[in-house]
Structure 1
Amino acid sequence: MADALRTLVNAELSQPVDPRVTAMAEAIAARHGAASRAVLFYGSCLREKQLEGLMLDFYLIVSDYQAAYGKRWLAIANRLIPPNVFPFHHDGLAAKYAVLSESDFRREVSGRARSTSVWARFAQPSRLVWSYDRDTLERVVDVIQDAAPTLFQYTLPMMDLTSPFGPGDIWKRGFALTYGAELRAERSVRPSSVVDADAERYERFGLAALARIAELIGVGSNGEVALFKRADRMARQWRRMQWKGKALSVLRLAKASLTYAGGAEYIAWKINRHAGTDIELKPWQKRHPLLAAISLLPRLLRSGAIR
């Protein structure tokens, strides 16, 4: 079973995508030159197989932030509050891409992550649509195979251990917890719908993740998968992660006002999408995106997106 999860991850990352997605990934990599190492495609456009009229989601993995940017302040911003997010347009399609260094990518998919966002995303399906070379591909697979076990280790102590449950139940509980650690206002059924839409995939990956955890940290006295932490300690850790995750989301939005072209419009779109609001920007907010981000914070708090 040692290679079961890695085999699943490698096969999923290698599945073909629309050629326009590959072309966009190549263009994103070219934008950052020799620093580019891998481009991953993920999110709703991948799940729904729909490209027109939507915003595609990518992660660009780079060797080093300084090498990736011509401006030093962008490298500093990416290092302090990763990731940086940029808009991108290619061949009539719109996208946004986030930038992480190889070292930050590895950390953010592990139990050492600063927030839940990266391992939660890459526990879900993604495609490796461009890589620098074969060695890079292997490193990406090595990193992503840790995403599902990380989610399961943080979720298992939060399950009701007195009642029977399966991998699908763990996934749904885990996604509900991670959604609570970001600026999201999707309906409470959304974590369940993500799993139910591809139940067979999540069953296979879930069983392999449980086997991986058993190999890494052992099994309990009755042969069950060992818990990463006691339930009470993990509950406290989740409360901290949820507050920290939402605070980081606010900081990232503020940073995006400077790094994202049309930053104020992007922030308003992001808040409207995730908090269910209907914000319309004033002219001065469009001219001064950082001040706009600060001025929108009270509205964000009142919306209930941060709880």
Structure 2
Amino acid sequence: MSELKTLIAQELAQPVDGRVTAFAAAIAAQYGEASRAVLFYGSCLRSTELDGQMLDFYLIVSDYEAAYGKSWLVGANRRLPPNVFPAEHDGLVAKVAVLSESDFHKLNRIGASAVSVWARFAQPSRLVWQADEAAQVRAVEAIEGASITLFDMTFPMMNIDTKYNIVDLWKRGFELTYGAELRAERKDRSGSVVDSDPERYARFGPAVLAAIAARDEVEDKKLKIVASRDAVEKRWRQLRRNGKLLTLARLAKASATYAGGIDYLAWKINRHAGTDYVIKPWQRKWPILGALVMLPRLIAGGAIK
């Protein structure tokens, strides 16, 4: 096992609050034998605060048909992954994103059409439930691609005449990913993610570099042409466009899968941007239209970047 995979496996296995593992087991139980893994990530993992917060889980399933049967949710999850659902357990609340093992692997790679998955799993996460050892192995393999993708997409965007340390590379990478989505967080949020545990990123950085070097050596030992800055900047423009459009599309989809989704959106924006936007009754009745009215105002006001 590579050093990077070893670090990921060790990090995924770190203990969390028992209420989180119980919550994860309850989520997995809803999907029966289709459930393969449940991952816990995000601000609640970093802060360890659970009460009164919205926890973030990814449920990894064997495939969508096994998870949903013949429901229309199969096509929705396949065409616009992930599906997102609300969940409650033992006084805690969460949102649960559902991906197949195949999609989880692909969306952590550089060919993904948006940054949302690999940007999150380049950050710490915990494997809080697994079906078996094979599910754990596949989760590690999928997550390995996240940091490698972040570095591949960040190297060409660094100024060539400036000296950096490995933590600076992580910060620049997260700055770029935050700019590629409709985000309500403060401008400095990407840096604070790294600053919350700089030793972790300093430890993982050399392992990511080693994994990239090993990858390039294995590929028939042929010369790998490093993408030019212009080419990568073009790719980032595509990701920014895709990310913002996908945010709106997923919001529209969530109106059918996520009761109270527009209230959650407002809560998240108010929490991170310091605004006090209040959802009106008609916006709950017609959440897609309500969101379309809300978002341009928030973007114009700087609450969403």
**Match for residue 279 of structure 1 among 252, 277, 280:** 277
Q: Give the TM-score normalised by the residue count of structure 2.
A: 0.92
Cα distance in 2 between the residues matched to 1:304 and 1:256: 24
1:9-37: CA deviations, max 9, x gaps?
A: 01000111111100000000011122111
Contact 1:14 1:128 in 2 (8 A): yes
The question of 1:247 aligning with 2:214 is answered: no
Stretch moving more, 233-242 or 149-158? 233-242
- AA at the equivalent of 2:96: Y
Asked if the contact 1:185/1:274 (under 8 Å) is kept, the reply is: yes
- 287, 290, 295: which one aligns with 1:289: 287
Structure 2 equivalent of residue 24 of structure 1:
23
**Would the aligned equivalents of 1:257 and 1:267 in 2 still touch at CA under 8 Å?**
no
Percent of pairs with identical residues: 60
The residue aligned with 2:265 is 267
Paired residues of 1:156 and 1:227 also in contact (CA < 8 A): no
Q: Contact 2:108–2:118 at 8 Å: present in 1 too?
A: yes
Counterpart pick for 1:256 among 250, 254, 257: 254
- Inter-partner Cα distance in structure 2 for 1:156 and 1:50: 34
Q: Deviations over 1:103-153 (max 9, x none)?
A: 110110011112111111111110001011111111111111111111000
Q: Distance in 2 between matches of 1:254 and 1:112?
A: 24
- Aligned equivalents of 1:175 and 1:63: distance in 2? 30
Q: Which runs of 5+ in 2 are unaligned?
A: 218-223
Question: Which residue number in structure 2 is paired with residue 162 of structure 1?
Answer: 161
- Residue in structure 2 matched with residue 199 of structure 1 by the alignment: 198
Q: Which amino acid aligns with 1:296?
A: M
The amino acid across from 1:235 in the alignment is: E
Deviation string 1:221-267 (CA, Å, 9 cap, x unpaired) is xxxxx774111111111111111111111111111111101233233
Q: Is 2:269–2:304's contact at 8 Å kept on the other side of the alignment?
A: no
* 1:207 Cα deviation after fit: 0.8
Partner-residue secondary structure (3-state), 2:72: helix
Aligned counterpart in structure 1 of residue 227 of structure 2, from 226, 229, 253: 229
Q: Residues 305 and 104 (structure 1 numbering): CA distance in 2 closer, same or farther, change over 3 Å?
A: farther
Determine the structure 1 residue equivalent to 2:220.
Answer: none
Residue correspondence of structure 1 range 86-105 to structure 2 within 5 A: 86-105=85-104
Shift of 1:46: 0.8
How high is the TM-score relative to the length of structure 1?
A: 0.91
Query: What amino acid is the match of 1:91?
Result: D
Question: What are the ranges of 5 or more consecutive residues in structure 1 without an aligned counterpart?
Answer: 219-225
- Counterpart position of 1:222: none
Counterpart in 2 of 1:44? 43
Matches of 1:265 and 1:49 in 2, distance apart? 23
Distance 2:292 2:182 in 1: 16
Distance in 1, matches of 2:212 and 2:93, equals 38
Which residue in 2 is equivalent to 1:109? 108
Using the TM superposition, give the Cα deviation of residue 192 of structure 1 relative to its aligned residue in structure 2, in angstroms.
1.6
Larger deviation, residues 2-11 vs 152-161: 2-11
Residues 154 and 228, structure 1, Cα contact 8 Å, conserved in 2: no
Taking the aligned partners of 1:252 and 1:271, their CA distance within structure 2 comes to 16
3-state SS of the aligned residue for 1:119? helix
How many pairs were matched up? 300
1: CA distance, partners of 2:235 / 2:303: 20
Paired with 1:135 and 1:149, the residues of 2 have a C-alpha distance of 22
Q: CA RMSD in A?
A: 2.0
The Cα of 1:271 is off from its aligned counterpart by: 4.3
What corresponds to 1:223 in structure 2? none
The CA distance in 2 between the partners of 1:234 and 1:273, in whole Å, is 33
Contact 2:186 2:272 in 1 (8 A): no
Paired residues for 1:146-157 under 5 Å: 146-157=145-156
Aligned equivalents of 1:197, 1:274: Cα separation in 2: 16
Q: SS of the counterpart of 2:154?
A: helix
Structure 2 CA distance for aligned equivalents of residues 258 and 194 of structure 1: 32
Taking the aligned partners of 1:283 and 1:117, their CA distance within structure 2 comes to 30
Question: Are positions 1:141 and 2:140 aligned together?
Answer: yes
Matches of 2:287 and 2:184 in 1, distance apart? 23
C-alpha distance in 2, partners of 1:227/1:43?
A: 35
